[in-house]
Amino acid sequence: MSNPVEPRAGEPCADESPADASPDAVSRRSMLKAGALAAATFAGAQAPAQGQAQSDAPAARTGSVAGMPFRAFVRYGTEGSVLDLRLRDIKPTQVLVRTRGSCGCYTVTSSVLGDFPQSTASIPNHSGMGVVEAVGAQVRRVRVGDRVLVSGTPWCGQCHQCLSGTPEWCNYLAPGGVPNDPIAEMADGTGVIEDAVIGGLSEIIVAYEEYCVPIFSDLPDEQIAMLGDTGAVGVAATSVYDPVQIGQNVVIFGAGPIGLAAVQGARAQAAGQIIVVEPARYRRELASSFGATTVLDPNDDTDTLVERIREMCAPRTDRLDAGGQVGGGGFISMRGADLVVEASGFDRYPPAVETGPDPTGLLALRQAWEVTAPGGSLVTLAVQRGDIAFPGSAFCLSGKRIFGGQMAGMNVMRDTTRFITAMENGDVDIGALVTATPPLEEIRAGFQGVADRTELGVVITFPS
């Protein structure tokens, strides 16, 4: 792991080269030396400033937080419940956050509602927001008193993935990136970890610095909480990997909180058509209200769904010398959407609203790929159940770009601020996706609404 001071520390080495003996070299040495001194001064000026910044931070209580009582939803054995815990010391690279909100993710429903056995006591979920209450001695990105998003995905800026243009797979991403040690203990001393080194369903989040995004905005807590997971993912799907261009055709499978945020993102970027495929009537109606130009029920004429969408995306003419298209034949259709977002998921629990023709979600994934035009982009976001088969030749040759969309490709330090600006300007309305804000004591009811799909964005909230 490189130290950012190293390049500066290396500069004086040029001045020590024995080969530099000519007057010119002396002159150059002088210049280098001057530069080195300037760099040293700069570094020296920076170090106290950073140290000052940390010492200015009120009540930075590194090492003194052990024993702090708090409550959290803990899953252990075959059940989960809200327990009184005692905090352990945080590490020098960790941040102690007093939670204000945590966005309930559909993937977490079984951790809250299920009865499967779990041998390690753990706080479920993988995002949250709140106020920094203490920082480890090495933390620089956030300060005590900061409002902060603990994002579902970290950004360190220096690992191989961050440097290679795939920050959504920053190597600090658990598991394996950073140790997931117990952050607290139960009354009997049993250690409690956080799922994905974040947790969230807790009055306290202990997060590694790389997961923390300082928030400089007055947007309400529940809207910021949505940026740790579903709300941000939907907007990112239309604006990170292959941003929508004005007038392009966008198809979105699934109008849950992710899909509806994607609708808003597509509309904000002036997409031409926004075609939404969603089985639940109330979600189709919401999609229309957020800017979908066409909403389709995947249960209606399921076998012709792909062809109908392709025809909707056909150019205005079939005259090839006038920008037209004949649609192709054979094993690859030329017609389809410029950007397809697959956010349909699968039915972990039977929905209490209308469901699609395939509870595994694999049919929707296959259809999403089929309606992607050659040269178009498919962003896959949902967690599916099972394997999928594609026709080999078409898969290999069709020129479709597939983005496996962990966090929809977000660089959370860069993109969160962009999304906040769009929210403040009214271009996207993530607040409209928050349909329930239950307190920790009502967490089961909140997650039942997520499992039933009768709710959209459910943010577990904590009194300030």
The residues of the shown chain that bind Zn ion, judged by CB under 5 A, are: 105, 156, 159, 162, 170, 229
Report long-range pairs for 279-286 (Cβ below 8 Å, ≥24 apart): 279/353, 279/354, 279/355, 279/356, 279/357, 280/255, 280/351, 280/353, 280/354, 280/355, 280/453, 281/353, 281/354, 282/353, 283/255, 283/256, 283/259, 283/353, 283/453, 283/456, 284/255, 286/255, 286/260, 286/456
Closest CB to Zn ion among residues 230, 269: 230
Closest CB to Zn ion among residues 252, 296: 252
Closest CB to Zn ion among residues 151, 367: 151
Strands 249-253 and 273-277: parallel
List the beta bridge partners of residue 252.
276, 341
| Least distance in angstroms from the C-beta of 236 to Zn ion | 13
Tokens 């008193």 found at: 145
**Does an H or E element contain 147, and which?**
strand 147-150
| Least distance in angstroms from the C-beta of 386 to Zn ion | 20
CA-closest candidate to residue 373, choices 325, 424, 339: 339
Q: In the structure encoding, which two tokens stand for residue 70, read together?
A: 């708090």
Looking at residue 105, what DSSP letter applies? P
Between CA 70 and CA 82 the distance in angstroms is 10
Closest CB to Zn ion among residues 161, 437: 161
| Least distance in angstroms from the C-beta of 228 to Zn ion | 8
Closest CB to Zn ion among residues 376, 405: 405
| Least distance in angstroms from the C-beta of 119 to Zn ion | 23
Closest CB to Zn ion among residues 105, 456: 105
Instruction: Using alpha carbons, list the distances in angstroms from residue 250 to 238, 309, 324, 326, 328.
Output: 9, 10, 19, 20, 20
List the beta bridge partners of residue 78.
none
Instruction: Using alpha carbons, list the distances in angstroms from residue 360 to 109, 163, 200, 385.
Output: 16, 35, 27, 5
Between CA 222 and CA 40 the distance in angstroms is 44
| Least distance in angstroms from the C-beta of 444 to Zn ion | 18
| Least distance in angstroms from the C-beta of 447 to Zn ion | 12
| Least distance in angstroms from the C-beta of 84 to Zn ion | 27
- Residue 387: HSE in the Cβ half-sphere, 13 Å Cα cutoff: 2
Closest CB to Zn ion among residues 258, 368: 258
Strands 401-404 and 372-380: parallel
Closest CB to Zn ion among residues 167, 376: 167
Q: In the structure encoding, which two tokens stand for residue 59, read together?
A: 């009540």
| Least distance in angstroms from the C-beta of 173 to Zn ion | 8
Closest CB to Zn ion among residues 159, 274: 159
| Least distance in angstroms from the C-beta of 192 to Zn ion | 20
CA-closest candidate to residue 120, choices 201, 227, 192: 192
| Least distance in angstroms from the C-beta of 431 to Zn ion | 19
Closest CB to Zn ion among residues 199, 336: 199
How large is the C-alpha radius of gyration of the chain?
A: 25
